[in-house]
Structure 1
Amino acid sequence: MLFYWNHLDWHFPNERMEREFHSHQYWRKCMPGGVKTDRQGNYYVSVPRWAEGIPATLNRIVLKQGKPVLDAFPSWEWNQAGHVHALQSVLGYEIDEHNRMWILDQGKINYAPSPEGSQKLIVWDLDRNEQLASFVIPNDIAPYRTSFLNDLAVDHKHGFVYITDSGNGWPDHPVDAAIIVFNMRTGTFRRVLGGHYSTQDFPGFRFAIDLQPVYTGKPLRIGCDGIALSADRSTLYYCPISGRNLYAVDTALLMDFHTPLEAVGRAVRAIGSKGTTTDGMNADNKGNIYFTMLEEKGVGLYQPGTGGFYRIVSDDRMMWVDGLAFDQRGSIIFNSNRLHQMFNEPEPTIDWSYPYNLIVWRMFIGSDVKSYLYA
């Protein structure tokens, strides 16, 4: 365990913000999403604004009196809610091989429709601490009402980014999920596999963790979420949360924006069941695909060469594992955030007195193991 909390807390810029945060108990809806580390060894964590009162949606972990707290990144000004050019709600992001952070802004706060200009892909240079580019994701690519921009994979070799839109941004409405492809050279987006069976929630899907049904009041319905790009950049893997299957499609088809949408759909391959539902995914420089195991409380591995699925780590405290990443020093890092307890309906079931509710984990894999980005 690198860091752990019973609930998240921040290094606030002033006493007023700190007092308001604690008096309203906004921490009850502060969930760590993705965790990453840069080449300097700094750790970052996203906290999506799925409720009001989240102080900052993208953060760096710092120590305050020996305890880990969050500090807004790249600044508090950049995290102002209601300012469409600032970061509104970040879940997925990536730190590439050039030490640049690709930040995917969902745009929406508390599941309200995304204001125009708020959905965007921002590129931030971590060495120079400055913005390099910002690309607005329009309504025709990610509908402001239904979109739920989730995670992404970056391919500098060919100049593309792949994004999952989980399509659950409108509560109590059918899922409208898809894959979004971004061409770095032209600055254009394309939406593919919209409504395709592989990107949607599996009909009637139910699952439980520790024999406790997830979301006791109503079933969880989330489309494609986890996404991973093979080390040779030829295959994109993805999966829904509401389902156990892993899917794949050749990136050559996705990179050609003239490929008919029907042809992309026909090319999707159902790899098979992971034996568990999954949130975060990632890939290493050896060709392996890593996936979180929600039902089995840990992290699993898929080896394309053998077609085998394997469990590599599990722990009773790994409740709702997400945010798989690499530290480029031979280890994977990930977090467990008890999403299913924090956001359970009709009432949360999380025990806020438990010290290990939220954990950032590190596991050594091998001295030569790095992210797919370093293949």
Structure 2
Amino acid sequence: MIFHWNRLDWNFPDLKMKQDFETNQYWKKAMPAGVKVDQQGHYYVSVPRWADGIPSTMNRIIIKDGKPLLEAFPSWEWNQAGNVHVLQSVLGYEIDEYNRMWLLDQGKIAYAPSPEGSQKLIVWDLNTNRMIDSIIIPNEIAPYRTSFLNDVIVDNKNGFVYITDSGCGWPDHPLDGGIIVYNMRTRTLRRVLDRHYSTQDFPDFHFQIDYKPVFKDKPLRIGADGIALSADRSTLYYCQVTGRNLYALDTSLLRNFTTPLEEIRKAVRAIGSKRTTTDGMHADNKGNVFYTMLEGKGVGIYTPSSHTFHDFVSDDRMLWVDGVAFDQKGSIIFNSNRLHEMFGGYEMDWTYPYNLIIWKAFVGHGVKSYLYAD
């Protein structure tokens, strides 16, 4: 356990902002989603704006008076809600082998349609602390009404980026899940597997965590979510939240934008059941795929060489393990955030000091992210 909170708090730049946050109890919907660490050892956490009042959607963790606080990253100006040119709502992001942060901006706030220009991929150089690129994701690639840009992985060796769109951005409407491919060289985007069975929610799927239905009043429905790239960059793995299967696809088909969409749809392989629902995934440099276990309360590993799934770490406090990443020093880092309680109609005990936790677990010497594979 690296950090833990009863609720998130920020290092606010002024008293008025802090008072507004406290008075309106905006912290009740402030959920740490993805956690990663850069090459300098700084920890980052995204807090998506699924409700109003989130001070900043991208943050660096700082310690003040012995307490972990969030500080807007790269600045408060870069987190201004309502300005489509800066970060609006970040859920998934990646820090690549060149210490560049790839920030996937969902664009939408509190599930309103994404404004024109708000859906984007921002590339930020952590070494020089400046923006390198901004790639707009238009309506025809991720529909502004239904899109829910979830997670992103980067393949610098071949020059491609892969994004999951969970398609659940329009509550109480049918999903529109899919996968988005970005070609760095041609700067073009392509949407594949649109509403394919593997990117949609499993029909009539229900699940529980600690005997609590997810969600309380109506079943949760989330399409393509977790995504991972094999160490040799040849296989894309992904899964939906509302389903237990793991799916795979040869990236050679995705990297060729002339591959017919129907051919890609037919090439999807169902690897098998993880025996748990999953949110985030991440592959290591040894060929393994780490996946969060929502029902299993922990993190599991899929080993392609033996086609086996097994539990790696679990704890009763690991309630809704959201994302998993690597510290490049042999350990995984991951977070539990009680998403199903915070947004699922349950009352939380906000005095409990372990509501929100960032964990670290040692895997083995030399184990790093897929990005560092030879």
Matched, 1:126 2:126: yes
How far apart in 1 are the matches of 2:348 and 2:288?
34
Question: How far off is 1:52 after superposition?
Answer: 0.3
Q: Which moved more, 1:209-218 or 1:266-275?
A: 209-218
- Give per-residue Cα distances to partners, 1:127-154, cap 9 Å, x unaligned: 0000000000000000000000000110
Instruction: Summarize the alignment of residues 73-222 of structure 1 with structure 2, pairs less than 5 Å apart.
Output: 73-222=73-222
Q: Partners of 1:60 and 1:212 in 2: how far apart?
A: 32
**Partners of 2:216 and 2:346 within 8 A in 1:** no
Residue of structure 1 equivalent to 2:356: 358
Measured in 1, the distance between the counterparts of 2:286 and 2:218 equals 40
Deviation at 1:322, TM superposition (A): 1.2
Query: How far apart, in 2, do the equivalents of 1:212 and 1:82 lie?
Result: 36
Alpha-carbon deviation of 1:350? Answer: 1.8
Give matches, 1:46-57, under 5 Å: 46-57=46-57
Q: Is 1:34 aligned to residue 30 of structure 2?
A: no
Q: Can you give the 5+ residue segments of structure 1 that lack an aligned partner in the other structure?
A: none
Structure 1 runs of 4+ with >6 Å offset: none
Native 8 Å contact 1:120 1:136 kept in 2: yes
Does the aligned pair in 2 maintain the 1:245–1:274 contact within 8 Å? yes
1:63 aligns with 2:63: yes
Q: Deviations over 1:55-91 (max 9, x none)?
A: 0000000011110000000000000000000100000
Cα deviation for residue 211 of structure 1 reads 1.2
Return the alpha-carbon distance in structure 1 between the equivalents of residues 116 and 260 of structure 2.
28
Q: Which residue number in structure 2 is paired with residue 23 of structure 1?
A: 23
Supply the AA of the counterpart residue of 1:371.
S
Contact 1:242 1:277 in 2 (8 A): yes
Match for 1:182: what amino acid? Y
In structure 2, the residue corresponding to 1:363 is in which secondary structure? strand
Deviation at 1:216, TM superposition (A): 1.4
Gaps of 5+ in 2: none
Matched residues in 1 for 2:85 and 2:64: separation?
A: 30
Cα distance, 1:351 vs structure 2: 1.4
Cα distance in 1, alignment partners of residues 36 and 123 from structure 2:
15
**What one-letter code is carried by the residue in structure 2 that aligns with 1:188?**
T
1:340-364 deviation digits (Å, cap 9, x = unpaired) = 00001xx333211111000000001
| Counterpart Cα distance in 2 of 1:185 and 1:354 | 49
Q: TM-score normalised to the size of structure 1?
A: 0.99
User: In 1, Cα distance between the equivalents of 2:319 and 2:21?
Assistant: 25
Measure, in 2, the Cα distance between the counterparts of 1:20 and 1:58.
19
Distance 2:209 2:295 in 1: 5
CA deviations on 1:9-67 (whole Å, 9 max, x unpaired) are: 00000001011100111000000000000000000000000000000000000011110
1:292-313: per-residue Cα shift (whole Å, max 9, x none)? 0000100000000000000000
* 1:368 Cα deviation from its structure 2 partner: 0.5
Whole-angstrom distance in 1 between the partners of 2:55 and 2:253: 41
Question: 1:228 matched to which residue of 2?
Answer: 228
Contact 2:113 2:146 in 1 (8 A): yes
Q: What value does the CA root-mean-square deviation take over the aligned residues?
A: 0.5
Residue 349 of structure 1 aligns with which residue?
A: 347
Residue 347 of structure 2 aligns to which amino acid in structure 1?
A: T
Distance 2:246 2:174 in 1: 21
Q: Quick check: 2:99–2:127 contact (8 Å CA) kept in 1?
A: yes
Instruction: Tell me, yes or no, if the aligned pair for 1:338 and 1:350 is still in contact at 8 Å.
Output: no
Q: Which amino acid aligns with 2:355?
A: N
Q: Counterpart of 2:365?
A: 367
Structure 2 partner of 1:43 = 43
Count of aligned pairs: 373
Question: Quick check: 2:106–2:150 contact (8 Å CA) kept in 1?
Answer: yes
1-structure distance, mates of 2:246, 2:349: 33
Letter in 1 for 2:76: W
